[in-house]
Amino acid sequence: MSDQALEGLKNVPYFHDVPEGALQRLAASAFVQGYPKGTVLISEGDAAGALYVILSGKVQAYLRNKSGRTVTLAVQEPGSFFGELSLLDGGPRSASVVTLEPTECLLVPREPFLDWLRQHPDAAISIIHCLTRRVRLLTENVRGLALSDVYGRLVKTLLSMAVQQDQGWVIDRRPTHQELSNLVGCSREMVSRIMRDLVRGDYVAIDGKALRIQRKLPPSW
């Protein structure tokens, strides 16, 4: 189990500069937990808890208001992690997280982590650098929401999810229109209309469970 925990921690950018010996001591306090699809791992407002590292599966981080409207913050897959803010500051969870398919996570409990950090203060430098990058990314996301129209936000979201392959850009796990609307912050019907036009214009194509971007997307819709 410790080998699996160590490999999982190595995928977390916070720990890229941490010596392996120190990381092994942290791995000794971690454990693996499996969850079925639809399990709420974290609810917004929960007390501070563990750091989660996704080993397999897929989760959705989201916010939901009192009327039930949901905004997706991120869809995360193996190698991703979440829960680090409460882990560090002890504040309540800032968002909810639910599994979108059967998922296995590595959990690092908060108190053992804080004890480990006191023993390895150099690791704090790596954590500060990663948090800074995350703040910059959040700033860009807010800029996109504030200054782009729905089409512009949708294009940016599709491009951020796509991976370059021999014949262009591909999103291996094609998101649903509802997932895209939650990410973009608009209605599902609006996403459906835009995607339908992109398919008709031969800009994108549905390839089984994948979405293929066949040529440069138009600057406006």
- Rounded CA-CA distance 221/195 in Å is 10
How many other CB atoms are there within 10 angstroms of residue 158's CB atom? 22
Position 143 scores a pLDDT of: 67
Position 107 scores a pLDDT of: 94
Query: Residue 189 carries which side chain, given as an amino acid letter?
Result: E
Tokens encoding 164:
């370059």
Position 220 scores a pLDDT of: 80
| Nearest in space to 87 (alpha carbons), one of 118, 52, 135 | 52
Grouped pLDDT means (10 residues each) for the chain, 221 residues: 80 81 89 95 91 92 81 84 85 92 94 89 79 75 66 88 82 89 85 92 90 87 78
**Residue 211: its H or E element:** strand 210-213
Reduced to 3 states (helix: H, G, I; strand: E, B; else coil), residue 207 is strand
Position 36 scores a pLDDT of: 97
Q: What is the DSSP string of 42-110?
A: E-TTPPP--EEEEEES-EEEEEE-TT--EEEEEEE-TT-EE-HHHHHH-PPPSSEEEESS-EEEEEE-H
Tokens encoding 116:
């480990």
Position 75 scores a pLDDT of: 85
Position 145 scores a pLDDT of: 60
For every residue of 16-58, which 3-state class applies, written as one string?
Answer: CCCCHHHHHHHHCCCEEEEECCCCEEECCCCCCCCEEEEEECC
